[in-house]
Chain A
Amino acid sequence: MPDLIYILTIPLLPLVVFLLLGIAGRNSFNKTGGYIGTLSMLVSTVLSLQLAYGYFFHWGKVNGVYQHFIPYKLTWLDFSEGLSIDLGILLDPITVMMLVVVSFISLMVHVYSLAYMKGEERFGVYYAFLSLFTFSMLGLVLSSNIFQIYMFWELVGVSSFLLIGFYYQKSSAVAAAKKAFIVTRFADLGMLIGILIIAFQAKTLDFTLLIERLGTPGSEWIQQAVQAGFLGWPVISWGLLLVFVGGAGKSAMFPLHIWLPDAMEGPTPVSALIHAATMVVAGVFLVARLFPVYTFSAPGVLEFIAYVGVFSALFAAIIACTQTDIKRVLAYSTMSQIGFMMFALGVSGYGGEEGLGFTASQFHLFTHAIFKALLFLCAGVVIHHVHSNELDAMGGLRKDLPVTHICFLLACLAISGIPPFAGFFSKEEILLAAYEKNKIVFALALFTSALTAFYMFRLYFKIFWFKAFSHHGHHKEGSPVLLIPLCILAVGSISTGFIPFGNFVSGDGKPVHTSLQINFSIAPVLLGLVGILAAAFIYKRERSGGNSTSVIYMITKRKFYIDEVYLFITKKIIFNGIGKPAAWFDKNVVDGLVNFSGTITEKIARSIKKLQSGKVQQYTMLYLAGIIVITLAMLYFFNRI
């Protein structure tokens, strides 16, 4: 094993760039900031690839099992005996895989943004934020400590906030940024409490130790943790459930998904990077990271995850069918795909063939990152071209944007699970894993998969077909800088499916055999094709979807009124029900008491002013009265002795 300390440079390079551009990006590096950022990203990517190569092919495997390595660890903050936040690097297959994904997609987005964001007033700042995000995300995937993950989790959240709110003068962007941050923060609350619970049960925050204690079958730690109960569930289950809530927040699982569509207010490359490929899969990554713990300490939670995942997948797919904003459709599709990854984890077992779900989930994560980034970047080109997000403003663009058209089509095929594109392989594995474990989940997933094909091609047709193009004929497709990333990603969408993923990534580090089962694949592929055809049929005419009056359509279009429910809870219950009374209470009761003590004193003072009547005889009468009273008191108290 080589000296791995150089891994530190992978996340630190973007950090340095962030600091440089953050401090001086506005003035000195506003123009050149993009190039600095891209260059550093390139270095990071190369290093990641090199690491991945080394890990997977050279030194990572010992005795046929991929090992955990902790090449670097620094105690960042001590809490107490055994509990400390360490900043460390944990290398295992999923880390390395994620490292590659993050740095690679980030590089693509960096390059793409060079052209896309050109001429922005805050170009340098944009790259600073992008670098901050990349740093945080890299830090997240490298984390060796559950609290470290939480830290980077928060940082990721804030960089997402900054990037969504990049157009800070747009009220909707600010609102979306706030919404994204607050919703995920709320989820993080769950994660935090979950961490507290787990830390208490395992007496450690370190992943390696944690997995050793709570992720090893039959360990006494598990027995202890399972014994203590709260509301009928073992405490550890609660803890893991809460941790999952954190993951669900970032990964936009129902019902914490509401921020994701709004987050599309950010610049499109940002959506590609954060809200499609990397950050939103953090939840999946987190569950995968703690997978042994889930499996052995709280299998019930895992089942729950499966249901949440598949429901989210279906739910999002349904909504995606009716949305008219290109980016929102993609956002819902992202949500849906993450649902796939989630339930894949949920139906997975640990080790051997049982662990297919795990591998499939990670595989899908990998392929999805590539084709979803591609979709977004294409969408960016389209939006750039028509200056609108609305599908109604588009149509027939295949002549104007030939490269984009092709790339988009490839990506759509990939996501729809049409062989031989990348999505097919990963999705197939997921479905297989679900089929073996849970038939209900499998059925829903199958349906969702068909729906995916339908709405993706709805999008595709609406953008590129069925409309005479007239108004935007004069634009060129864009600079090569814009197109190169598309092409690279398109190649990725085609080719990555062929990677024997199971050899590299699995729950226990041992290879999983993932052979393609042709007879199993027939159904999903056919269903996918049906979806595509349906889309082609329905949307070939302009201004289709005339049945927009039907109730179901309306409900779907309004995203099942989830936003309204949230609005009701926040505005009516939290603001008016708690905040206002609290403020009122403070102003009137607590403050009122303070003021009241003042007024009452003044009142008393005023009411006894008559004592000082100005009449000398009254004074002396009081004098005598005083003497009499005191004498009586003295006689009463002291004369009896």
Chain B
Amino acid sequence: MMEPGLYHILFLSTALFFTGVYGFFSRRNLITILMSIELMLNSVCLNFIAFNKYVWPGKLDGVFMTLFIIAIAAAEAALAIAIIINLYRSHQTIDVSSGEEMKY
């Protein structure tokens, strides 16, 4: 096998990203959907770090992006969980199909 490098990490993160996307599309539980989003964001972070490390180490842009993404991910997750809990209270379920009342 090859020496691991940029492309390996990029492929890994892409795979991770789309794993998250798959989870987003296929899960029915809202919390698992949220988990999938975390996976996607993580893969992006990995991307930024990898680029920063292998291609553009002259500045720390990637690092800062990662840091802020992590912070935002936390805030987003918190808010999403609050909304999910509220939904659970009103619908007594966190199945995503509970939220299909408005359509067409």
- Closest B residue to A624 using CB positions: B21
Q: Is the CB of A617 within 8 A of B24?
A: yes
B81-104 interface mask toward A, CB cutoff 8 Å, 1 = contact, 0 = none? 000000000000000110111111
B25 CB–A CB distance under 8 Å: yes
The interface stretch among A513-521, A551-559, A571-579, A607-615 is: A607-615
Q: Main SS of chain B's interface residues?
A: helix
Q: Which residue of B lies closest to A618 (CB)?
A: B25
Q: Do the beta carbons of A614 and B103 come within 8 Å of each other?
A: yes
Which of B21, B25, B100 contacts A614 (CB under 8 A)? B100
Shortest distance from the beta carbon of A24 to any chain B beta carbon, whole Å:
70
In-complex Cβ contact of B25 among A609, A610, A613, A621 (8 A): A621
Describe A's contact surface by its main secondary structure. helix
Complex interface residues of chain B between 2 and 58 (CB less than 8 A to chain A) = 21, 24-26, 33
A612 to B104, CA, bound (A): 5
B97 CB contacts on chain A under 8 angstroms? 615
Pairwise interchain contact A613-B100, C-beta atoms closer than 8 A: yes
Is A620 part of the binding interface, using a Cβ–Cβ cutoff of 8 Å?
yes
Contacts of B25 in A (CB 8 A): 617, 620-621, 624
- Which of A609, A614, A621 contacts B101 (CB under 8 A)? A614
The listed residue (B24, B26, B96, B103) touching A613 by CB distance below 8 A is B103
Cross-chain pair count, CB within 8 angstroms: 28
Chain A contacts for B26, CB-based, 8 A: 617
**Chain B residues near A609 (CB-CB < 8 A):** 104
A614, A617, A620, A621: the one contacting B102 at CB < 8 Å is: A614
- Across the interface, B96 reaches (CB within 8 A) one of A610, A615, A621, A624, namely A615
> For residue A608, which residue of chain B has the nearest CB?
B104
B100 touches A615 (CB 8 A): yes
List residues of chain A with CB within 8 A of the CB of B100.
613-615
A621 to B26, CA, bound (A): 10
Residues of B within 8 A of A620 (CB): 24-25
Beta-carbon contact of A612 and B24 below 8 Å: no
Task: Give residues of chain A (598-641) contacting chain B, Cβ–Cβ below 8 Å.
Answer: 609-610, 612-617, 620-621, 624
Query: Whole-angstrom distance between the alpha carbons of A348 and B78 in the complex?
Result: 114
Q: Report the nearest A residue to B103, measured CB to CB.
A: A614
| A60–B24 alpha-carbon span in the complex (Å) | 111
A616 touches B104 (CB 8 A): no
A612 to B103, CA, bound (A): 6
- In angstroms, how far is the closest chain B Cβ from the Cβ of A612? 5
* Shortest distance from the beta carbon of A385 to any chain B beta carbon, whole Å: 86
Q: How far is the CB of B46 from chain A (nearest CB, A)?
A: 20
Residues of B close to A612: CB separation below 8 A: 103-104
A404 to chain B, nearest CB (A): 90
- A residues 141-163 with Cβ under 8 Å of B? none
Closest to A621 in B: B25
- Flag A502-537 by CB within 8 Å of B: 1 or 0 each: 000000000000000000000000000000000000
- Residue in B24, B96, B103 whose Cβ sees the most chain A Cβ within 10 Å: B103
The reply to whether B101 and A616 form a contact with Cβ atoms under 8 Å apart is: no
A614, chain B: closest CB distance, angstroms: 3
How near does chain B come to A245, taking the closest CB pair, in angstroms? 68
Q: Which residues of B contact A615 (CB under 8 A)?
A: 96-97, 100, 103
Q: How many whole Å from A603's CB to the nearest CB in chain B? A: 15
Closest to A613 in B: B103
Query: What is the chain B residue whose CB lies nearest that of A620?
Result: B24
Q: Which residue of A lies closest to B97 (CB)?
A: A615
Complex Cα distance A617/B26, Å? 8
* Complex Cα spacing A336 to B100, Å: 91
Once the chains are docked, how many angstroms separate the CA of A620 from the CA of B20? 13
Q: Is the CB of B99 within 8 A of A616?
A: yes
What are 7 A-B contacts with C-beta separation under 8 Å? A610-B104, A614-B101, A614-B103, A614-B104, A615-B97, A615-B103, A620-B25
Given contacts A612-B104, A617-B24, A624-B21, list 13 more A-B pairs with CB under 8 A.
A609-B104, A610-B104, A612-B103, A613-B100, A614-B103, A614-B104, A615-B96, A615-B97, A617-B25, A617-B33, A620-B24, A621-B25, A624-B25
Q: Which residues of B contact A (CB under 8 A)?
A: 21, 24-26, 33, 96-97, 99-104
Residues of chain A touching chain B, judged by Cβ–Cβ distance below 8 Å, are: 609-610, 612-617, 620-621, 624
Interchain residue pairs A-B with the least CB separation, the first 3: A614-B103, A614-B100, A609-B104
